[in-house]
Structure 1
């Protein structure tokens, strides 16, 4: 009988989330973050949805994902496409979801071995869950 781990070997996994914190590989993160399928989790220096700018999405390009799952916070909000034009021009797909859906979707895609990146906005102006 063959046994396999539920977590991808050497990859990142989101184990838990609420409106104010996301746990990646068992470690809590209370600031917005970028979670690549492999490698180091990075702080994403954005505190509120309204602060999003082109530079925030340009930071994603350096990690070279094939797909970005953008968790827009506790509720679904769509960023202006001009902000992520660099991703579109680099032929990197981007899907927008609320934080909970983004975490679930990221885990599924990462477990399939996809080069996915979760860009998770933990909005400090949102009420605690």
Structure 2
């Protein structure tokens, strides 16, 4: 699906998504990613099943106020112990499917929020 929205030209936004990819600023990306308003970086876990506490702790380096966890085409919730470091740092964590993650990220970027999207595919 392609997303259309007015976007700030200097910030990352999701412009499309599919079963095994997302498009960030019209560039198709696959594999696990961390997308912030200003960067796109690889992320270690190859799947939801591989998530560890260290994967969530690594997200603190982005200094987010909100982490959107995209879990593929279906919604999956990580065990609370995995995201404990984020919760202790008072960072909101929201798990959602890829389509909801893309839309929510774009809205929060437009509101100038410190958001990151941690993207996983099945």
TM-score by length of 1: 0.87
Structure 2 segments unaligned to the other structure (5+ residues): none
Q: Deviation per CA, 1:87-107, whole angstroms, max 9, x where unpaired?
A: 001110111111111111111
Structure 1 segments unaligned to the other structure (5+ residues): 124-129
Deviation at 1:122, TM superposition (A): 1.8
Q: Deviation per CA, 1:68-99, whole angstroms, max 9, x where unpaired?
A: 11111110000001001000011101111111
What is the number of equivalent residue pairs in this alignment? 118
- Give the corresponding residue for 1:119: 118
Q: 1: CA distance between counterparts of 2:85 and 2:34?
A: 17
* Structure with bigger gyration radius: 1
Q: 2: CA distance between counterparts of 1:50 and 1:16?
A: 25
Deviation at 1:50, TM superposition (A): 0.7
- Give the corresponding residue for 1:29: 29
Q: Deviation per CA, 1:31-84, whole angstroms, max 9, x where unpaired?
A: 0111112x2201112111111111111111000011111111110000001001
The list of structure 1 runs, each at least 4 consecutive aligned residues, that deviate by more than 6 angstroms after superposition, is none
Cα RMSD of the aligned pairs, angstroms, is 1.3
- Give the corresponding residue for 1:49: 48
Q: Deviation per CA, 1:13-39, whole angstroms, max 9, x where unpaired?
A: 1000001011111111110111112x2
TM-score by length of 2: 0.91
Q: 2: CA distance between counterparts of 1:48 and 1:20?
A: 12
